[in-house]
Each structure stands twice: as structure tokens, then as C-alpha cells.
Amino acid sequence: MFKSKKALVSLFLAVIMIAATIFMVITASASQSVSTQTNTQYSYNGPTPKYVFLFIGDGMSYPQINSAEIYLGKKYYGNNKNDIRMLGFSKFPVAGTCTTYDAESFVPDSASAGSSISSGIKTINAVINMDPSKKIKYKPISEMLKEKGYKIGIVSSVSIDHATPACFYAKQPSRNNYYEIAMELANSNFDFFGGGGFKLPKGKNNDQPDVIETAKKNGFTYVNTKQEILALNSESGRVIAVNPALDKDKALPYDIDRSKDDLSLADFTRKAIDVLYNSKGFFLMVEGGKIDWACHANDAGASIHDTLAFDKAVNEAVEFYNAHPKETLIIVTGDHECGGMTIGFAGTAYETFFDKIGFQTKSYLEFDKIVADYKTKKNSSNAALEDLLPAIKTSFGLISSKDPDAASNPGMVLTDYEIQRLRDALKQTMIDPKERKYNDAEKIMYGGYEPLTVTLTHILNNKAGIGWTSYSHTGLPLPVFAKGLGQELFDGYYDNTDIFKKLCTIMKVSR
């Protein structure tokens, strides 16, 4: 049949090559299909939780949590014992770790990090539940659970149209579309929104249909007094509850500045539970939004107090869990670290003095008001640090060597180097922000903050043994604490998009 032995060998080689090619194609397509499924499959055979809590401490990673625990330990034990006092959620039975990088950066913002948690996608900074090209919209877990019959609640200590809460009810190409985001809230079929207010309720030019009026037409009850909010219960229907005390950004005050009469994040969490409680179940997302803002400003005292307030909010869910242990899941995590906060500083080496943070009585933002008032009375030629020393003492506990308390409290005495830093900062503070011309060193010393105030928090924090590397977020991984049905899935080291995937598995939903 074959004309020669050579032809037979050629045919044999050709067959081998074709077979090898087919094998390579099959192998390649198989590995491709495997790679698209990597880490997407989890298994859970337990009962589906009826009540699901997701707490997000914005800007909260290990340093923010542990610094609050060291602060509590110092407060509780004094200098008698070197120990921490754990937070309620850091005692949860399961603690995993997640990575936070987004589609373009190892340092995400709240929008891309929030989208990873809420809808399981990697996107770019500022984008809410949409792909990096801003064309495809993704459904967040909250919407998927609403379709399953759960009531849905969203609580935040910052404005309710801010990036993190928006990731649980909106799909927008930019987090700055505050009006469009708020209109998605007003037109949503969710059940409870509580905490901060709306940044642009009538649009950028104040000429659009009012968000609150639209929400009311859609069946929401709007309440904004303490009395009305505390009266909310499971008969209240669908509710938007806005705190009566709001800052210029429509957020709750920092917890360190909160008056005892004002509502707290824990109060809003408890009222959300009261409104949402029903036999079919609910999903509640609570954001502690100002841990992040405090860390942007490098203010450890404000961060620690907001982390403690966040822990108290989680405790409301733990109390609910104790009454419904066989039906509840609580997850507590962050979205990214902020500030590059570190326990340990070059100036204090192996020692820390967290008791010094206890002298701080107000946030950087409240001290900024004292500075603003001073600027109305003085100018660059007659401003003097000595004028502000009494306010510095009552706000941060820092004192000059001439202060009568200097001998009894030497740890809080400002060194000559620190006094010089404050004098340099005051000079910049007295210049109109638009006229300030920072050199490279000043850019790093002051960021975008009031130079005198940020220098004071830096000095106090450094004296306590706390360091900062940034006025922005960082790429540090985050803890994920879990308690309740399906808690075991949150053990291990995984990506933040896996929080969504694990929740989908436990809740038996898919997109």
C-alpha cells in the first residue's frame, strides 16, 4: 500500500503531531476553564441563616483594632499589667484574613473594596458595583437576598449616600454621583436606611427632585429626631432615619466628640434590628465610616474611639445572636487599612505609652474649630503658639515645660524639637490655604490637613508609640471575624471577593 518505508514513517510522524496538537488544545481549554473557577466554589451543608449581619469598619485593619485593644488594656490595668482588652468581635470563634487589592491598585478605595465585598467583583477606584470599563452592572448580595424575601437594612455613621453604604444598594460609575446614588436609595425596595444624611438631596445645582420627597412617595417614612428614631419598631414599615446631629459632610460626629444625649452607631444598629425583625429574615450592613476619616487625618484618638463605638454596634448584633443562636450569622471586617497606622515608632523604639492617648478630649476636627476661631482674631504677624497652649493642653494633654503640671506629668511635656515643629506648623496655619506653598517635606508633614492640628496629633501619637505612613489608604490585608451559621467558611487566607462568594454559598443564592 505504501510506496516506501520513508512514506510510512512520514505518515506515522504526522499522526503523532496531530494527536499531540489535539492533546495540547484539550489541555489548554481544560486549564482555562479551571482558572475561571478558581476559588469560586465553597460548600456548606448547614441551615441557611435567617438573620445576617455584615459589619464593615471603614479603614479598619489589624492596627486600628489592636490599638483600641491596647488603649482599653491600659485604661483597665493602668501600668500594673502589660496586656490588651479584646474587643467583643475580636473574640468571635472564627478569624480569617483577606486581601484587598482592586483591578488596578494594591491600595483600593472604599468603592472598589466595597464592590468586592458586596458583589464579588474586582473593579477600579471610585466605581460602585460596575466593571472597570463602567459598562456592566453587578447585583450586590443585599439585592439578591431581597429577592429571596429578606428585609434589608443599611446603616452608616457617615452620609448614607457614601461609597460603602452605596455598594449595597447602588450601581454607579462614580462614587461622587451622590444625587444619583441617593435616588437609587429612594427608588429601592429596601426596608431600613439609618445614620448619616444625604450630601446632595436636590442635586449639584439644587434644582432636582428632592430625594427625601421621592422616598416618601415610594412609601418610606422619614424620621430625623431622637424621639421618632427611638420609637421605631417592627410596625414602622420602610424607614429612613437620619441622625439629628450631623457634621458638614452629613456624617455622625466622631464618637470622641459625641454628646451623651446624641444617638450612637449602636443606637442605629439596635433600631435597624427592631424595624427589620420578621419571621422571614433580614440582612443588615452596618458601616463604622469614621474610623477611616480619623486615620486619613492621622488622629489615633478619634480612630480608637470610633473603633470602640463600632464594637458597641457589633455587640447589639451579638445580643440578637444570643436570642437567635441557631438562625444568625455575624461577619465583621474592614474594607481597607487607612493611614498606614503602626504600633511602634522610631522615637519610642520598643516602648509604647497608650495611656497618653487618654489625655485627648476631642477629635482633630473639633480642634480645627478652635484654630479657625483663632485665625479670625490674629494674623501671620501677631500669631503666637503661646496663645494656643491652654487649648492644646485641654484638647491633647500636651504641655510646655513652663506649665505647672510639667513636673508631675513629664511624659506630656513638649520637647524643644516638638515646640519648634508646632511653631513652624502655626506659621503655615496662619497662611490662607490657597496661598500655602509647601516644599516636599511640608507636603509629607501636613498632607491636606490644618498644619497645626495634624502636627499636634502626630506629636501625641508619636509620644504614645504610634506611627503613620500615609494620609490615604494602604494595601494591608484585613481580618474577617465570623460568628454563627457558616462561620467556618471564613477561616483561612483569601481575597475580599471571596467574602461575597462565601456568603452566596451559605445563603444559597447566585447571580
Q: Of the two residues 58 and 69, which places its CB atom closer to Zn ion in the complex? A: 58
Smallest distance from Zn ion to CB 192, Å: 22
Q: Of the two residues 290 and 312, which places its CB atom closer to Zn ion in the complex? A: 290
Smallest distance from Zn ion to CB 55, Å: 13
**Contact range with Zn ion by CB under 5 A, out of 215-223, 285-293, 315-323, 381-389:** 285-293
Q: Determine the Cα–Cα distance for residues 461 and 467; give it in Å rounded to an integer.
A: 7
Name which position in 110, 123, 188, 269 contacts Zn ion (CB under 5 A). Answer: 110
Q: Of the two residues 152 and 295, which places its CB atom closer to Zn ion in the complex? A: 295
**Nearest of 148, 153, 150, 143 to residue 118 by alpha carbon:** 143
Q: Which residue's Cβ lies closest to Zn ion?
A: 110
**Contacts (CB under 5 A) with Zn ion, residues 290-319:** 292
Q: Of the two residues 110 and 333, which places its CB atom closer to Zn ion in the complex? A: 110
Q: Of the two residues 232 and 499, which places its CB atom closer to Zn ion in the complex? A: 499
Q: H or E segment at 374?
A: helix 364-377
Name which position in 143, 299, 335, 450 contacts Zn ion (CB under 5 A). Answer: 335
Give the C-alpha distances (Å, rounded to integers) separating 209 from 183, 214, 249.
9, 7, 21
Q: Take residue 33 and report the three cell numbers written for it.
A: 476553564
Smallest distance from Zn ion to CB 338, Å: 7
**Contact range with Zn ion by CB under 5 A, out of 222-230, 315-323, 330-338, 366-374:** 330-338
Q: H or E segment at 481?
A: strand 478-484
- Check residue 283 and report its DSSP letter: E
Any contact of residue 69 with Zn ion (CB under 5 A)?
no
Number of residues this chain uses to bind Zn ion (CB under 5 A): 4
Virtual CA dihedral for 160, 162, 165, 168, nearest 10 degrees?
120
Any contact of residue 157 with Zn ion (CB under 5 A)?
no
**Nearest of 334, 347, 385, 305 to residue 461 by alpha carbon:** 347
Contact 222, 212 (CB under 8 A): yes
**Contacts (CB under 5 A) with Zn ion, residues 413-442:** none
Any contact of residue 368 with Zn ion (CB under 5 A)?
no
Tracing cell 477611616 back to the chain, one arrives at 292
Q: Determine the Cα–Cα distance for residues 51 and 280; give it in Å rounded to an integer.
A: 9
**Nearest of 420, 421, 316, 307 to residue 357 by alpha carbon:** 307
**Contacts (CB under 5 A) with Zn ion, residues 193-222:** none
Q: Determine the Cα–Cα distance for residues 359 and 402; give it in Å rounded to an integer.
A: 19
Q: Of the two residues 184 and 292, which places its CB atom closer to Zn ion in the complex? A: 292
> How is the beta sheet containing 239-242 ordered, strand by strand?
221-223, 239-242, 192-195, 151-156, 282-288, 51-57, 328-334, 478-484, 94-99, 493-495
Name which position in 51, 52, 55, 58 contacts Zn ion (CB under 5 A). Answer: 58
Q: Determine the Cα–Cα distance for residues 69 and 65; give it in Å rounded to an integer.
A: 6
Q: Of the two residues 316 and 335, which places its CB atom closer to Zn ion in the complex? A: 335
Smallest distance from Zn ion to CB 457, Å: 20
**Contact range with Zn ion by CB under 5 A, out of 1-9, 32-40, 286-294, 317-325:** 286-294
Q: Determine the Cα–Cα distance for residues 452 and 425; give it in Å rounded to an integer.
A: 5
Smallest distance from Zn ion to CB 266, Å: 20
Smallest distance from Zn ion to CB 263, Å: 22
Any contact of residue 64 with Zn ion (CB under 5 A)?
no
Any contact of residue 287 with Zn ion (CB under 5 A)?
no
Smallest distance from Zn ion to CB 454, Å: 20
Q: Of the two residues 177 and 328, which places its CB atom closer to Zn ion in the complex? A: 177
* Number of neighbours of residue 20 by Cβ within 10 angstroms: 10
* Number of neighbours of residue 465 by Cβ within 10 angstroms: 23
Any contact of residue 267 with Zn ion (CB under 5 A)?
no
Smallest distance from Zn ion to CB 354, Å: 25
Q: Take residue 3 and report the three cell numbers written for it.
A: 510506496
Smallest distance from Zn ion to CB 100, Å: 10
**Contact range with Zn ion by CB under 5 A, out of 116-124, 335-343, 361-369, 384-392:** 335-343
Smallest distance from Zn ion to CB 92, Å: 21
Orientation angle between helical segments 451-464 and 385-396, nearest 10 degrees:
50
Tracing cell 501600668 back to the chain, one arrives at 79
Q: Take residue 282 and report the three cell numbers written for it.
A: 433580614
Q: What residue ranges bind Zn ion (CB under 5 A)?
A: 58, 110, 292, 335
